[in-house]
Each structure stands twice: as structure tokens, then as C-alpha cells.
Amino acid sequence: MILALETSCDETAVALFDPARGLAGEWTHTQIALHARHGGVVPDLATREHLRHLAPLLERARASSGNFSAVTRVAVTHGPGLAGCLALGVAAAKALALALRVPLTGVNHLRGHAFSPFIPLHAESPDDFSVRLATLLPHLGLLVSGGNTLLFSLDENLALRVLATTRDDAAGEALDKGAKLLGLGYPGGPLIEKLATGGRPDAYDFPRGLGPRAELDFSFSGLKTSLRYQLEKMAPAEIAARTSDLCASYQQAVIDALARKTFFALERPSTDSGQAAYRSLGLSGGVANNRPLRAALGKIARAARVPLLAAAPEHTGDNAAMIAFAAWACPEPSCGADPASSELIRAAVVTPSPAGLRIAPALTLV
Ligand code: ADP
Ligand code: MG
């Protein structure tokens, strides 16, 4: 049984994962309502909230699991994220690992997201998981969250290679900033999705930031600027009357950019030298909650005749289940250690002594 802790940003989360059976339980406290009052995450408030909620969540996990007697490993998010929040989670995880006399695994938050689409596959039948996983590799993944937008590949050995990132804003950030410009509140993605339902996606022509076909990197800052210029041309009453159209068009621009780049990546062989085509497409991160985005990626996957594996809605945002799962599915330092790949997603660090685990330097990228 793996006990996992996630405190990288604005969710305090604890999960228990049994590789032979699946998720044994998860306990999450979200701070969204607190930060919404300030229009975004306030790091100091986030750290204090983790401090307040982590112990009670751990207590509930302990009570449900016979005093953690079956725990054989502790896993913790060690970056990237807010420095104070990460330090608190890592310190708690170290203490738990020392007390339970089990090893500690540091998991990169993005690696957790990257593996989250495979959690349902494992849940369906834990015994066959590795056999079924092998039929889905090489895998192309789209990871879309508030802080990151990545296309990455997982090869037959689960080595992870980052193929594209964003040059400026992440997809979720573009939605959050767009919502702010529209005066809608935080987080913006779900609010834009809701208001977009009644609107026309072709009402306004916002830029897609696509660049040449060979270029897989994303760019969303032009989109946000274009919305600002559009709003400056409109009277407040007109903005209010056209909010649904604005949301639908803005959301469509984000989805089109994500879908087109994903399609370009899927068309290519999975390695620079080899011919192997991708055998599955994954979707993860908070923005993966967006239903029109799921539908758009579903269409691309069907066209390429590969299955779409989307993270379950409860595992799209920050959660500890994905941290436990990634610690188990890809536990070796060699797994994913492709030197050509970006530093953004690092191999999980397995340390023989809990005292040896350091917070990943990636946290300075906050
Ligand atoms: P991070 O950990 O980087 O903050 P998360 O994985 O927690 O990111 O995801 C949060 C992001 O997901 C926010 O930008 C939010 O607006 C976006 N998001 C959440 N739900 C939706 C949705 N239904 N549609 C679009 N974006 C969404
Ligand atoms: Mg988050």
C-alpha cells in the first residue's frame, strides 16, 4: 500500500493506493473558495491552509486503514509548486516515512498528471494492468493545467520525453486570465465553460497561435491580448449581452490550438529515429475537465484510430491518487530519465533514507 501526500498548490490531498486492488481511499481539501476572494492563489494563505488541514486528513486516512499497518511506501509531491506548500508536504512525508519505517518516494507533480489517465485502466483490472498498458505504448499525452501545457511521449519502457511546452501562458492560465478580463471570477476555466454553453464559438475570431506545422510549442498570450482589445472596443452593456458568445469563442480558440498541435504530434512517429506510431492518446490536468476539449480530443483520437485515455474528473486537478499511482507505475530513477527531455518532468527520486529526499529544484520555476 502506498500512502501519498500532495500539497503543491491549493489542494491538500492524501490517498492510499493498493497496487493489487486500486485506490483504497482519498481525502482532499480544496482551498479554491478561499483564493477566489483574492482572484488567484495567495501562497502564504495556501501554506497556512495546508498546515491546518493536512493532519486531520491524514488522521482520517489512518483511521480507515488500520493505523497505516499495510503502508509499504510513502510518496509525496516534491515539485514543481509553491515553495512553502511543498516544504510542508515533504516534511510531513519524511516524518511519516521515518515513523512507519518505510521508504519515501518524491514524485514530480507533472509526472503524476502524466500518469493519471492510466488510473482507470488499472482500476478495471489490476492483475492485467501491465499487459494492457504495453498495448497502449508508445503513448502521446496532452497535459493541460493552470501552470503547464505539455505534449509528451511515453515509450515502450515508460521513458517520458517532453515534446512541446508553452512559450508563455498555460492553457488554464489563458482561461483564468480571460475570465478575469471578462469579470467572471476564479478559477476561470469552469466559469468560461459554463457560460460558453449558450454561446456561438464562431462569434469572434480570436487567434489560435498555431505557427508552422512543424512547431509543436504552444502560445496563448496573443489570445488573451486579443480578448482585451476586443473588450476595449465594447460598451459594458454589450459585453454583458455577449458574454456567452465571447466565452464560447475564447474557449474555442484555446481548444483549437490544443487539438491542432496534438493532431500534428500524433501524425508523427513516436521517436525521431523510429517508425513506431502512437498507440494511445492521453489527456490530463485541470483543463482536461473541459467537456468540449474532451470531445475535440476524442475526435482526433478516432481519426488516428487510437483510444483516448482521459483522466477521471476527480483526478484532473491536484490530487494525491495520481502521486501514489505514479510512484508505483514508474518508480525507478531510470524511468523517464531521458537526458534530451525537459527538466520539467523529472524521474521520481527513490531514496533509501527518508532524510535524503530534497525538494526538487524545479520548485524555483513556480
Ligand atoms: P495547477 O495545478 O497548475 O493549478 P490544475 O491541474 O489544478 O492546475 O488545474 C487548474 C486549472 O484548470 C485552472 O486554470 C482552471 O481554470 C482549469 N480548469 C478547471 N476546470 C476546467 C474546465 N471545466 N474547463 C476549462 N478549464 C478548467
Ligand atoms: Mg491546482
Amino acid symbol at 51: L
CATH architecture type of domain 2-132+314-365: 2-Layer Sandwich (3.30)
Q: Tell how far the Cα of 316 is from the centroid of ligand 2, in angstroms.
A: 9
Question: 102 pLDDT exceeds 80?
Answer: yes
Question: 172 pLDDT exceeds 80?
Answer: yes
CB crowding 25-55: b at 16 or more within 10 Å, else e: ebbbbebeeebeeeeebbbeebbbbbeebbe
What pLDDT sits at residue 37?
86
Count the neighbouring beta carbons within 10 Å of the beta carbon of residue 115: 28
> Domain spans of the chain?
2-132+314-365, 137-306
| Assigned C-alpha cell, 268 | 508523427
146 Cβ closer than 6 Å to some ligand 1 atom: yes
245 Cβ closer than 6 Å to some ligand 1 atom: no
What pLDDT sits at residue 147?
86
Mean pLDDT of 91-111: 91
Q: Which of 267, 60, 290, 81 is nearest to 178 (CA)?
A: 290
Q: Tell how far the Cα of 327 is from the centroid of ligand 2, in angstroms.
A: 19
Q: How far is CA 215 from the centre of its chain?
A: 22
Higher pLDDT, 186 or 5: 5
Question: 302 pLDDT exceeds 60?
Answer: yes
Question: 7 pLDDT exceeds 70?
Answer: yes
Q: Tell how far the Cα of 11 is from the centroid of ligand 2, in angstroms.
A: 7
287 Cβ closer than 6 Å to some ligand 1 atom: yes
Amino acid symbol at 347: A
Q: Predicted confidence band at 349 (pLDDT cuts at 50, 70, 90)? A: very low
With the most atoms of ligand 1 within 8 angstroms of its CB, the residue from 289, 314, 366 to mutate is 289
Question: 362 pLDDT exceeds 90?
Answer: no
Express each pLDDT in 46-78 by its tens digit: 999 999 999 999 999 999 999 999 999 999 998
Q: Tell how far the Cα of 9 is from the centroid of ligand 2, in angstroms.
A: 6
80 Cβ closer than 6 Å to some ligand 1 atom: no
Helix (H) or strand (E) holding 2: strand 2-6
Question: 352 pLDDT exceeds 60?
Answer: no
Question: 284 pLDDT exceeds 60?
Answer: yes
Q: Predicted confidence band at 360 (pLDDT cuts at 50, 70, 90)? A: very low
Q: What percent of the chain has pLDDT over 90?
A: 74
Amino acid symbol at 47: T
In whole angstroms, how far apart are CA 291 and each of 189, 195, 216, 220, 245? 11, 13, 23, 20, 17
What number of helices (H) and strands (E) belong to the chain?
A: 13, 11
81 Cβ closer than 6 Å to some ligand 1 atom: no
**Are 220 and 174 contacting, i.e. CB atoms less than 8 angstroms apart?**
yes
- Lowest mean pLDDT of 153-162, 171-180, 348-357, name the range: 348-357
Q: Whose CA is nearest to atom 9 of ligand 1?
A: 286
Question: 364 pLDDT exceeds 90?
Answer: no
With the most atoms of ligand 1 within 8 angstroms of its CB, the residue from 29, 145, 224, 345 to mutate is 145
Question: 320 pLDDT exceeds 80?
Answer: yes
Q: Residues for the chain: how many in total?
A: 366
Q: Relative to the CA of 318, which ligand 1 atom is closest?
A: 7
Same fold flag, 2-132+314-365 and 137-306: yes
Q: What is the 3-state secondary structure (H, E, C) of 153-173?
A: EECCCCCEEEEECECCCCHHH
Mean pLDDT of 74-90: 91
Q: How far is CA 254 from the centre of its chain?
A: 17
In whole angstroms, how far apart are CA 280 and each of 144, 248, 287, 312, 319? 17, 29, 19, 16, 23
Q: Whose CA is nearest to atom 11 of ligand 1?
A: 146
What pLDDT sits at residue 213?
73
Instruction: State pTM to two decimals.
Output: 0.90
What pLDDT sits at residue 331?
58
User: May I ask the CATH class of domain 137-306?
Assistant: alpha beta
Task: State the Cα angle at 292 between 302 and 111, rounded to 5°.
Answer: 75
Average pLDDT over the chain, rounded to an integer: 89
Q: Predicted confidence band at 307 (pLDDT cuts at 50, 70, 90)? A: very high
Higher pLDDT, 8 or 363: 8
Q: What percent of the chain has pLDDT over 70?
A: 90
**Are 113 and 318 contacting, i.e. CB atoms less than 8 angstroms apart?**
no
Determine the Cα–Cα distance for residues 95 and 57; give it in Å rounded to an integer. Answer: 15
| Assigned C-alpha cell, 296 | 475535440
Q: Tell how far the Cα of 317 is from the centroid of ligand 2, in angstroms.
A: 6
What pLDDT sits at residue 347?
37
With the most atoms of ligand 1 within 8 angstroms of its CB, the residue from 111, 175, 297, 363 to mutate is 175
Q: Tell how far the Cα of 318 is from the centroid of ligand 2, in angstroms.
A: 5
